[in-house]
Amino acid sequence: SQKIEQNSEALNIQEGKTATLTCNYTNYSPAYLQWYRQDPGRGPVFLLLIRENEKEKRKERLKVTFDTTLKQSLFHITASQPADSATYLCALDPSYNQGGKLIFGQGTELSVKP
Amino acid sequence: NAGVMQNPRHLVRRRGQEARLRCSPMKGHSHVYWYRQLPEEGLKFMVYLQKENIIDESGMPKERFSAEFPKEGPSILRIQQVVRGDSAAYFCASSMTSGPNTGELFFGEGSRLTVL
Q: Does the structure show a pLDDT above 60 at B1?
A: no
Q: Does the structure show a pLDDT above 70 at B20?
A: yes
- The per-residue pLDDT for range A66-111, each reduced to its tens digit, is 998 999 999 999 999 999 999 999 998 876 666 678 899 999 999 9
Asked if A101 and B101 come within 8 Å (Cβ–Cβ), the reply is: no
Q: Are B11 and B111 in contact (CB under 8 A)?
A: yes
Q: Give the HSE-up count for residue B80: Cα atoms under 13 Å, Cβ half-sphere.
A: 6
Average pLDDT of the residues in B8-12: 97
Distance CA B18, CA B20 (A): 7
For residue B100, what pLDDT is reported?
62
For residue B103, what pLDDT is reported?
75
For residue A109, what pLDDT is reported?
96
DSSP summary character for residue A101:
-
For residue A94, what pLDDT is reported?
75
Angle CA B16–B17–B20, to nearest 5: 135
Nearest Cα neighbor of B95 from A102, A87, A109 is A102
- The per-residue pLDDT for range A33-71, each reduced to its tens digit, is 999 999 999 999 999 999 888 989 999 999 999 998 999
A2 in contact with B, Cβ within 8 Å? no
Cβ density class B79-94: b for 16+ within 10 Å, e for less = beebeeebbbbbbbbb
For residue B36, what pLDDT is reported?
98
Strands (DSSP E) found in chain B: 5-7, 10-13, 19-24, 31-37, 43-50, 53-56, 65-68, 75-79, 88-95, 106-107, 111-115
B109 in contact with A, Cβ within 8 Å? yes
Nearest Cα neighbor of A104 from A46, A42, A58 is A46
Average pLDDT of the residues in A1-9: 82
Q: How far is B103 from chain A (nearest CA, A)?
A: 7
Q: Does the structure show a pLDDT above 60 at B30?
A: yes
Q: Does the structure show a pLDDT above 70 at A10?
A: yes
